[in-house]
Structure 1
């Protein structure tokens, strides 16, 4: 009898990250997790699948995606929520600080102090994953926020205020805005960030989408409202932080 094996190293990185998030009960040991620098390894069922390339590879990928029941939504930005200084691309997938305040109506939906914008899509169930290209930007903030958040004046981002975000400042300080804030110390700052939401599980996880290294996981007893993707490209700062944030579609196959 011939035994064919398939190695998890041939699984595309985003799907492997989803496999781990979906199969490993990380919420049961979240107190320990914050002392672990790397994301937990893939479950043994993935590791023992061997090194077979070819049609079986596609079949395994397809079955894993179906079993994990994860949505990969085409996230776009909502201009109605964008701070007046923000410049959005025509396809609504990238955003940067334009430094000039546009003459727009200050509706209740619009951020008027923090240079932020929400996604058009919202989530109140299911598992979802997307990626954002941050490049070498020295400052940015990414994550999720309740529809009910305060959008006026200074914002104290924390789960208690309806924000689940991580933030890079001045190119040297990466912080998860938890309660209390948690400084992250990756081996290198990510140039592409993966964001994973498990609504019913109360999880918001971040990873370096290039390496699938785990960055941080927020755990909530339960979410109580619609969550929107949150993007803050940071101030341009005389051109030092002019590169836009760009929403990307993860390479799944």
Structure 2
């Protein structure tokens, strides 16, 4: 049985330590269930872009909204459109696609970041929470040169040595699992098992550098 490790969150939000951020009251989430996402086909080639309306103001999208870069001072507030979909306290961004069934695979170039999380989260997740800290998100975290599987703010060490330039994520919605894939060997490194009760979106958090997403990919043979 894997042991959950409790470790302090050391991520930064717009140049401040996470512990120094005073979280405001929870916003209502009813509107999120009415959000119009890009339709997901029943096939296994999920195609998505990052949704600017969800991106925290410290995150800037690039390369036709497939990449995201962290800016410590944040974007000029006058350039950020006010949106109830936007994450208000944490450097998080969602993809614009909602997943309700099937097996889906995408990859992420991570070589230019040393502190990030990536995975999936309920489409209606509260916008004042961070992915990995609640029971409605399932992510893989890279921090202090180590990998972890993370949900409900508990971390399980992942035995992925070093940090490859690019990693894969394989989601089986119906079976209830999310896997981290070594793209060099096309093998599963670690799997998070759960039961998805509501539609989920690819989700990302970033505290330095940049990451680039690659969707529209077929599930690699053998996975």
CA positional deviation for 1:90: 4.7
1:157 aligns with 2:116: no
The structure-2 alpha-carbon separation of the partners of 1:140 and 1:245, relative to structure 1 and needing over 3 Å to count, comes to same
Q: Please name the residue that 2:19 is paired with.
A: none
- The question of whether the paired residues in 1 share the 8 Å contact of 2:140 and 2:148 is answered with yes
- The question of whether the paired residues in 1 share the 8 Å contact of 2:131 and 2:139 is answered with no
| Distance (Å, rounded) in 2 between the aligned partners of 1:115 and 1:210 | 29
Q: Please name the residue that 1:128 is paired with.
A: 104
The gaps in structure 2 that reach 5 residues or longer are: 4-41
Q: Please name the residue that 2:169 is paired with.
A: 195
Q: Please name the residue that 1:63 is paired with.
A: none
Q: Please name the residue that 2:18 is paired with.
A: none
1:137 aligns with 2:113: yes
Q: Please name the residue that 1:182 is paired with.
A: 156
1:166 aligns with 2:140: yes
| Distance (Å, rounded) in 2 between the aligned partners of 1:156 and 1:89 | 21
Q: Please name the residue that 2:213 is paired with.
A: 247
Q: Please name the residue that 1:89 is paired with.
A: 62
- The structure whose residues are more often strand, as a share, is 2
| Distance (Å, rounded) in 2 between the aligned partners of 1:215 and 1:106 | 39
CA positional deviation for 1:73: 1.7
The gaps in structure 1 that reach 5 residues or longer are: 1-30, 36-68, 237-241
Q: Write out the 4+ residue segments of structure 1 that deviate beyond 6 Å after TM superposition.
A: none
Bigger Cα Rg: 1
CA positional deviation for 1:98: 2.3
Q: Give the match's secondary structure for 2:53.
A: helix
- The question of whether the paired residues in 2 share the 8 Å contact of 1:106 and 1:112 is answered with no
TM-score with structure 2 setting the length: 0.71
| Distance (Å, rounded) in 1 between the aligned partners of 2:151 and 2:126 | 17
- The structure whose residues are more often helix, as a share, is 1
CA positional deviation for 1:156: 6.5
